[in-house]
Chains A and B, each alone.
Chain A
Amino acid sequence: MTTIGTVHKGANEPPRWTPVRVLVWVAVALVGAVAWAVIALSRGEEISAAWLIFAALASYAIGYRFYARFISYRVLRVDDTRATPAERVNNGADFHPTDRRVLYGHHFAAIAGAGPLVGPVLAAQMGYLPGTVWIILGVIFAGAVQDMVVLFFSMRRNGKSLGQMAREEIGPVGGVAALVAVLAIMVILLAVLAMVVVNALADSPWGAFSLIMTIPIALFMGFYLRYVRPGRVMETSGIGVVLLLAAIVGGGWVAADPVLAELFHFSHNELTFGLIVYGFIASVLPVWMLLAPRDYLSTFMKIGVVVLLAISIIVAMPSLQLPAFTDFAFNGEGPVFAGSLFPFVFITIACGALSGFHALIASGTTPKLIEKESQVRMIGYGSMLTESFVAVMALVAACVIDPGVYFAMNMPAGALGEGVQGAAATVSQLGFTVTPETLQATADAIGEDSVIARTGGAPTFALGAAQIFSAVFGGQAMMAFWYHFAVMFEALFILTTVDAGTRVGRFMLQDTLGNVYKPMRDVSWKPGLYLTSALVVAGWGYFLWAGVNDPLGGINQLFPLFGIANQLLAAVALAVCTTLLIKSGRAKYAWVTLVPLVWDVVVTLTASYQKIFSADPKIGFFAQRAQYSEALANGETSLGSAATVDQMRQVVVNTTVDGVLSALFALLIIVILVDAARVWIKALRAGGQLPTTEEPYVQSKLWAPSGLVPTAAERQIARERAAAGAADTEGR
């Protein structure tokens, strides 16, 4: 018999091993092993993308069932008899016990954006294998672990932010380092993402028209929700999606009309300034006008596209055109980004494997909404596995296109020579034979003038996705539509991130400046609001402008910096987690976050070291700077892809800024690590226990299942509790 107020611990015991269960898991392990064997051992012959999908899904299943379960019950010791902040505080607004499936959707929509669609595409220059191995193993042992452990510790502290936890649990030095890391990554992240949009939409009237149309569509949705149908989010988003699809179709007509095509034809610099102005206006407008409706639209599209892509890959089963490894994995001379497999694959692919940024979300809104402690596995670990799967699909999209086309799209314009002839010759020299006709035919198929030097990953992903979609829906005739559909939703995610990120950066800046000048802290004080918004926009705007005009290719130069910044934030998060495990007397399990932390630090510091000290001008910022300033001193007027003296000076400035930033990031990592190690030693000397800021235990009165699908035992408990009149959300 169950009475209200008794909470079951039954779910904490591992399910009993029945013969059927044993068989199922043996089968999962076998499928995974065979898939891994195929993708790792095949040389020379094309393999089907299905093997990548099987290897990923089987590995995720095993990681979730065994490793994540071990972490939640043995390491974190989740306790479902303990009330979560959502249950204790329950204020009907930001603290509210939320159905685990709803929260999973929420959390996934908050962590996943354009990131997992970009990194894997760039890393594909080394072949499909390095990226695949890192995405799958990285998420199981590092990324998903970080998200889940941060979520757990923040939940035990009423949803404290990562910065607060770093300050309180490590110390003021670690706290300040964390704050600087967050601000720095925000600026670099927004600049790199905005650059992806610029590179995808420059000289593309079709793409530019569709994206510009999202602004009136979002405004319409905003006014509709505010004044006509308040609260009808589903209905409004439905209308928005239909209008969005119409805008994509309309883009085709615009591109076909010579006058309109000229009107929506923008150069790189025009788009750059457009984005900067847009970013500023969007971040000072009230959220109901633009941000909120855009966010609804983006959530809708995000989930829809992920499902659509998964179905299409499974139905179309395309085969991979890129080899397992290219020579660039070992010689470090890759044209997309320089440097060899270690450490640069692990820097380039952050989102989808290990992304420090997620720690901000896992210590933000999600911990305040979670209903039961054991649900951190499904929400923290599970959402990250889903994002990782998105990254695998992006890698598939990059690998199904012709390798010659892939390199022609992803090399900086300066390196490719004149027109399709020059590009085809350059790429063929790399060992990936492609004809000028193929390059032109690809551009024609997607309704663009050219596919050459469309760097940034988004156009490449869009081309691969369009091939996959059109194989299932609509055939060759739909290629152009699907290409612009894919470009558009990536740009939509990015604009949402730019808008939200500028706001978050502004709030942090207002808070920091508020220490010096009080009125700044008042978030509705207009002069402060405009000033801080302008500062944040100027920050990312500078890097965007410098990147777009970088003679050596902005993505090539800035993407490693973005990866390093993201992994720096992961180092902060994992250091906080390790500190908390040690301080709470769980030093024997500290390896769970310490091993990924050490890996992350080794990778990031090696990359930073090479970026700072490498004598190879292709990799080292300062070596590159020396090469260009020497050439200038010798009176040379061109060097490499810098064709004029001005461009050479630009390279000198950019490499100085980028080099100094790399050094700053490396220094921050070392500071945080040393400060954290100090606390670890103190805790271990004190007998392996130090006070932490955990909220005291309160008995829970709620009950809910732990996983996505309730087990038979959980369904039985739900029925009994419902019959006894318990106020659980399950079954309501």
Chain B
Amino acid sequence: MIYEFFYNLIGSEIIAGFIAASLPLLIFILPFALVAVLLERKVAGHMQDRLGPMRVGYHGILQTIADIIKLLQKEDIIARENDKILFNIAPVLVFTGSYAAFAAIPFTSAYIGANIDLGIFYIIAVTGLVVAGILMAGWASNNKYSLLGAMRSAAQIVSYEIPTILVVLTLVMFTGTTNLMTLSENQTAYFWNWNILGGPEFSLAKILLIPFMIISFFIIYISTLAEVNRTPFDIPEAESELVSGYHTEYSGMKFAMFFLAEYANMFAVSAIVSALFFGGYHSPFGYLGNTLGIEWLIPVEQFFWFTFKGVFFVFVQMWLRWTLPRLRVDQLMTASWKYLIPIAFVNLLIVGIITLL
């Protein structure tokens, strides 16, 4: 455990916990964002039958680094009519919200930032900071497109939080824990033990549960897609109507912070979906470390599978972006309130009844 390592090193549990919880930024979020931005552009390119970035490095591998250097050099523009204080706080708040979520995500069985008992609810709670930050950015920009984008984004996130929470509730009821670490641990090392296939216990209920678990998965995937403002739910940024939504007025590093937060969020929701339904960090086929008897290999493998599952769902998000058209505002609200929430409710009841059987 990394927390114990720091605890032995420093001797203060508060500082050790603090360091352990803030590690994902360096070891994960920044490298991931580097890869994901390039991946997004490459996926976009290849899906549209073009090549994407090709000039910087072999097949454009260094493109993101060049972009970062460009963003660092850019002038930090604050327009005269902007609300200066709020304008400067907003990107920090948005980034803090998405970064804080990583503290409760189990990366391997050996590392979780903070093994809190209410992991999944903590993540839902800190997402509130993102919404507040987005509203702040939109309002402080003093620009009608920014404000409209922020309003749409906040309304969308708040609406789609309900089906997300209902599905999370279904899973909490089924597994009896809100701790993401325990949740992942329970779905032991083979893919037929995953929650999407009815959990680790073999019984009639497991087979009955499979269709409802698949429904739950689709609901939570759709609603998390809306929560991170990805297509088909990207009306907050709808380029053709709103320039680029709430971050229209931002430039340089502040824009980069919004961008980083967006990619961090994409991975966070993918990681949550995989922890809830697809075994978290567990390998689908058992561990090489177990067969060979090498103990330190297991966390490495787990980290690989965790990243693989997360990046796979991020890839599906990108794939959908170039496949589906954007929804209208009314369609967006219809999808959440009239379809996802009732289905999630019924699903919750059915899973509850089957679990009681």
Q: Decide whether A and B assemble into one complex.
A: no
Q: Which residues of A contact B (CB under 8 A)?
A: none
